[in-house]
């Protein structure tokens, strides 16, 4: 996973630049602006839709968790809301219905624009939902914090994929029901993926770690490297992932990912230093645990494996504005056989999808995931009409979707590989080149991530 141009600038620089650009711009009219105030009307909207990212220590370039912040940056807020670029919510909501929707309602949009148009009145702090005018407090409790054993400074440029062994010290079987990655350096960390290493694979993965100098080891695509990587394929699986825009991730109620005592967790961190000088990082992965769940779950990465192996290349020609690749499979036959046992599933069993995500790199323009039912109907799961690498996520379906044998899971991605859509390095836009599947900044992927359980 990668970033086109690093969007994390200093608050002062962003504020000066954007306020200067927006000087003299007025937001559209909104109803009853004289009745609006920050504490009574606006704070609750910002807390619910914006502050998860717009606070100190998070990925946004400035905070919006106080009246002073919201007032000083109000022209930026108004412009982003008017254009629909913020808050970031990438799915087309006509495809399916998702929990934790960050998009603004019409009333919320009108309130924000009306408040800015009225001169950003503060009002009485006692009118805030919390009563004291303070910003939201993250009270999420985590049972275990898994942290790198020592700092790491990226050695490979511009992309360094590094895997870190994290000891799992629980003595009883547990289920992970929620997690959060906490990047030590938001400027460099461009994704975090945690993998469970089953007890049978622990010695193999420790050997991979010991074969590489320094803390951790270099890894691409998966946590398994070297001659033993094929033999270890059945001993590891996904636990959870973080990408730009991600915050706390709660598994759907009553579900969780099993971890046995004696396991390990391997945390893959992708460092990108196209615009950032390498410096020290300590990233952690925090988890919530339960002793039992109603339905054990598995995180299932889904793609066409010929794209990865090269047997059916995912070719994206230089200069092409609209290359499309797609794949279709009956997952109950094609995939569940090798991983479904973790969720109590055997090949040919029906299952249900609780959440769905999509991953591409920098050239992606749109992506879609849907089911073709055996009876001839179609059901949309996720449609991202305007792909943005910096705002990826996993989307919880309001109602889990049941999938029967004979139903086909479909994935389609589109890319723009023209000269105008290339990354800028050292002030110069790179020329387009032919692209295939890969892990690097200028490679591409088309990957669905599904969270599934038995029916």
The pLDDT value recorded for residue 398 is 94
**CA 1 to CA 185: how far, in whole Å?**
16
315-324, 354-363, 418-427, range with greatest mean pLDDT = 315-324
**CA 186 to CA 57: how far, in whole Å?**
8
The pLDDT value recorded for residue 19 is 30
Whether 141-292 shares its CATH topology with 294-455 is answered yes
Closest by alpha carbon to 282, among 371, 181, 374, 205? 181
Of the pLDDT bands very low, low, confident and very high (cuts 50, 70, 90), residue 254 is: very high
Task: Look at residue 306 and give its three-state secondary structure.
Answer: helix
Closest by alpha carbon to 413, among 331, 335, 357? 357
Give domain limits for the chain. Answer: 11-127, 141-292, 294-455
The pLDDT value recorded for residue 86 is 78
Q: Which residues of 20-50 are buried (b: 16+ CB within 10 A; e: fewer)?
A: eeeeeeebeebeebeebbbbbbbbbbbbbbb
Region 439-448 average pLDDT = 86
**CA 27 to CA 78: how far, in whole Å?**
6
Q: Which CATH architecture has domain 141-292?
A: Sandwich (2.60)
**CA 242 to CA 257: how far, in whole Å?**
16
Of the pLDDT bands very low, low, confident and very high (cuts 50, 70, 90), residue 35 is: confident
Query: By mean pLDDT, which of 244-248, 321-325, 356-360 is the weakest?
Result: 244-248
Region 58-83 average pLDDT = 85
Closest by alpha carbon to 449, among 316, 321, 331, 295? 331
The pLDDT value recorded for residue 279 is 94
Of the pLDDT bands very low, low, confident and very high (cuts 50, 70, 90), residue 5 is: very low
The pLDDT value recorded for residue 2 is 37
Of the pLDDT bands very low, low, confident and very high (cuts 50, 70, 90), residue 381 is: very high
Decide if pLDDT at 16 tops 50: no
Cβ neighbours around 431 below 10 Å, total: 9
Q: What angle do CA 376, 377, 378 make, to 5 degrees?
A: 125
Of the pLDDT bands very low, low, confident and very high (cuts 50, 70, 90), residue 163 is: very high
The pLDDT value recorded for residue 339 is 74
Of the pLDDT bands very low, low, confident and very high (cuts 50, 70, 90), residue 217 is: very high
The pLDDT value recorded for residue 233 is 64
Region 161-180 average pLDDT = 96
The pLDDT value recorded for residue 229 is 65
Structure tokens, 19 = 């306020």
Question: 94 with 165: CB under 8 angstroms?
Answer: no
Decide if pLDDT at 59 tops 70: no
Of the pLDDT bands very low, low, confident and very high (cuts 50, 70, 90), residue 14 is: very low
294-455 classified as CATH 2.60.120.230: yes
Decide if pLDDT at 25 tops 50: no
Task: Look at residue 246 and give its three-state secondary structure.
Answer: coil
**CA 374 to CA 330: how far, in whole Å?**
10
Query: By mean pLDDT, which of 16-20, 103-107, 236-240, 363-367 is the weakest?
Result: 16-20
Region 241-260 average pLDDT = 86
The pLDDT value recorded for residue 244 is 65
Query: By mean pLDDT, which of 103-107, 210-214, 236-240 is the weakest?
Result: 103-107
**Which one has a higher pLDDT value, 347 or 254?**
254
CA dihedral 70, 8, 265, 236 (to 10 degrees): 120
Region 87-92 average pLDDT = 86
Summarised one tens digit per residue, pLDDT across range 183-209 is: 998 778 888 999 999 999 999 999 999
The pLDDT value recorded for residue 409 is 97
Q: What is the mean pLDDT of the chain?
A: 85
Task: Look at residue 132 and give its three-state secondary structure.
Answer: coil
Of the pLDDT bands very low, low, confident and very high (cuts 50, 70, 90), residue 228 is: low
The pLDDT value recorded for residue 100 is 79
Question: 435 with 442: CB under 8 angstroms?
Answer: yes
Query: By mean pLDDT, which of 206-215, 239-248, 262-271, 372-381 is the weakest?
Result: 239-248
Decide if pLDDT at 177 tops 90: yes
Decide if pLDDT at 31 tops 70: no
Region 31-60 average pLDDT = 78
């Amino acid at each position: 996973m990668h970033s086109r141009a690093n969007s994390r600038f200093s608050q002062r620089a962003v504020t000066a630049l954007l306020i200067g650009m927006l000087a003299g711009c007025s937001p559209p009219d909104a109803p009853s602006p004289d009745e609006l105030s920050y504490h009574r009307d606006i704070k609750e909207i910002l807390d619910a839709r914006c502050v998860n990212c717009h606070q100190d220590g998070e990925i946004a370039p400035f905070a919006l968790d106080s009246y002073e912040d919201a007032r000083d940056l109000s022209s930026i807020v108004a412009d982003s809301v008017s254009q629909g670029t913020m808050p970031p919510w990438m799915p087309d909501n006509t495809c399916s219905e998702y929990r934790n929707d960050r998009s603004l309602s019409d009333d919320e949009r009108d309130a924000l624009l009306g408040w800015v148009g009225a001169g950003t009145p503060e009002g009485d702090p006692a009118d805030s939902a919390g009563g004291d005018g303070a910003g939201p407090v993250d009270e999420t409790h985590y049972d275990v914090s898994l942290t790198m054993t020592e700092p790491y400074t990226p050695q490979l440029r511009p992309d360094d994929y590094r895997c870190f062994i994290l000891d799992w010290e629980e003595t009883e079987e547990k289920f992970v029901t929620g997690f959060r990655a906490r990047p030590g350096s938001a400027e460099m960390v461009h994704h975090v993926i945690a993998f469970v290493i089953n007890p049978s694979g622990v010695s193999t993965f420790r050997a991979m770690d010991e074969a590489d100098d320094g803390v951790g080891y270099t890894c691409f695509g998966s946590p398994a490297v070297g001659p033993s990587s094929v033999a270890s394929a059945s001993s590891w699986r996904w636990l959870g992932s973080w990408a730009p825009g991600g915050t706390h991730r709660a598994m759907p109620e009553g579900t969780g990912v099993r971890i046995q005592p004696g396991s390990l967790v391997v945390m893959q961190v992708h460092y990108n230093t196209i615009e950032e000088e390498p410096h020290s990082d300590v990233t952690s992965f925090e988890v919530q645990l339960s002793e039992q769940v109603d339905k054990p779950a598995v995180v299932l990465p889904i793609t066409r494996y010929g794209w990865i192996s090269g047997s059916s290349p995912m070719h994206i020609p230089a200069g092409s504005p609209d290359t499309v690749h797609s794949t279709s499979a009956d997952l109950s036959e094609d995939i569940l056989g090798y991983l479904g046992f973790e969720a109590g599933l055997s090949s040919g069993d029906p299952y249900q999808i609780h959440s769905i995500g999509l991953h591409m790199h920098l050239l992606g323009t749109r992506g879609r995931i849907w089911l073709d039912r055996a009876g001839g109907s179609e059901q949309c799961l996720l449609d991202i009409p305007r792909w943005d690498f910096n705002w990826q996520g996993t989307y919880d379906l309001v109602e889990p979707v049941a999938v029967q044998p004979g139903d086909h899971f479909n994935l389609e991605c589109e890319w723009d590989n023209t000269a105008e859509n290339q990354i800028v390095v050292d002030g110069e836009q790179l020329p387009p080149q032919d692209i295939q599947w890969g892990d690097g900044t200028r490679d591409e992927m088309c990957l669905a991530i599904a969270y599934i359980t038995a029916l």
